[in-house]
Structure 1
Amino acid sequence: MFLLCSAHLASVIKVAATDLSLAVKKKAADVSPELKGSSIFLIGMKSSLKTNLGKQLADVLRYYYFDSDNLVEEAIGGASAAKSFKESDETGFYDSETEVLKQLSSMGRLVVCAGNGAVQNSTNLALLRHGITFWIDLPLEIVARDVTENPTQFPSFEISTSGSYPEVMDELCALYNKYKDGYATADAIISLQKVASRLGYESLDDITTEDMALEVLGEIEKLTRVKKMMAEAARPF
């Protein structure tokens, strides 16, 4: 009886996941024409959820996916080289970040998981205006857990990932306070806590990448609708 119930539950979960995946693809097909190739920039603290969200959005919209931190590291010569460069020449390092962002913002049909360098000065914030920007707002506890479980995913030039959970939390809090004003310039905020509350989830861990993708696509639909209305209102009689 237990095995039968377990099998039935697994079947229900699989069907629900399939339905959600189809819903994401349908919503993407609906909003894609209105996007007209505009790129999407995801800002906020780095995490596996943000990365997976970016990759899924790129997949359903048929866009290219990039991680700006990875591109900066590649341009400088690797993670350790990037960390040394920032420590020895912070201005030069920031110039490298700006150059990467400048190249990305000049292109279309991209989903970019942007690092904190994207919001660290007015020049970079202006470059983000070439696309639509979303602040993926995650509780720091989740980001800290993510970092301690998978240290290699966070850029070594920004945080020491060898510390304990409390040490990582302290570093993340400092980073958040440093960049939160830049995050707040996004066109829309996608809050993990608000998504969980709206969907009736008891735990934030219940939220799927598909849930977040639907939230982003829904916001794109709203933003493009408002932009279209403003353009029509500005037309001469």
Structure 2
Amino acid sequence: MFHLNGRCIYLVGMMGSGKSTVGKILAEVLGYSFFDSDNLVEQAVGMSSVAQIFKIHSEAFFRENESNVLRDLSSMRRLVVATGGGAVIRPINWNYMKKGLSVWLDVPLDALAKRIAQVGTASRPLLDQPSDDPYTAAFTKLSMLAEQRVEACANADARVS
């Protein structure tokens, strides 16, 4: 706690890595407030889900609003923030997150695909595609996303595997 000195903690990682689940627990343990950046974007644009934002506007629109949310949060203290899985791909977001401590929740793709296949892909617009085999579809798409994002995730201050 002494070393944090009130700085925010930003959890990064692939979708399904447990950022929201871990974030809530971590915030409670530290006596911090918890925020999920996806939920804040939904509130900011007045829509009920990330999937709806992607469908009606675009991924680019969502990412711009996500950056605005991270900018606003970066001026606060004593927060644990679960970022969206793609937040790491925009360099500006790292400028905001580097004001605090960033932690990469690194989960094997196989485990991510199993988690996502179990709960479904409807709330995950980059994965929501009809498929006879949800696991294989999720694994294939996650593999592609990981290629784009893993290097960016490595910018985090700490990595938890």
Which residue among 48, 52, 66 is the counterpart of 1:78? 48
Deviation of 1:181 after TM superposition, in Å, equals 1.5
Q: Which amino acid aligns with 1:180?
A: V
Q: Which amino acid aligns with 1:151?
A: G
1:117 correspondence with 2:82: no
Q: Distance in 2 between matches of 1:47 and 1:92?
A: 22
Question: Which has the higher relative contact order, 1 or 2, with Cα contacts under 8 A spaced 6 or more apart?
Answer: 2
Deviation of 1:146 after TM superposition, in Å, equals 0.8
Residue 169 of structure 1 corresponds to which residue in structure 2?
139
Q: For the structure 1 residues 64 and 120, does the alpha-carbon distance in structure 2 shift closer, same or farther, using more than 3 Å as the test?
A: same
Which residue among 65, 71, 86 is the counterpart of 1:102? 71
1:145–1:165 contact (8 Å) kept in structure 2 = yes
- Gap regions ≥5 residues in structure 2: none
Q: Number of residues paired by the alignment?
A: 157
Higher-helix-fraction structure = 1
Give runs of aligned pairs for residues 107-146 of structure 1, distance below 5 A.
107-146=76-115
1:69 correspondence with 2:38: yes
Give runs of aligned pairs for residues 1-237 of structure 1, distance below 5 A.
32-47=1-16, 49-76=18-45, 77-79=47-49, 80-87=51-58, 90-151=59-120, 155-160=123-128, 163=131, 164-191=134-161
RMSD value, Cα? 2.0
Task: Give 1 or 2 for the bigger CA radius of gyration.
Answer: 1
TM-score, scaled to structure 1: 0.61
Q: Which amino acid aligns with 2:55?
A: S
Q: Distance in 1 between matches of 2:119 and 2:74?
A: 29
Q: For the structure 1 residues 52 and 81, does the alpha-carbon distance in structure 2 shift closer, same or farther, using more than 3 Å as the test?
A: closer
| Most deviating of 132-141 and 158-167 | 158-167
TM-score, scaled to structure 2: 0.87
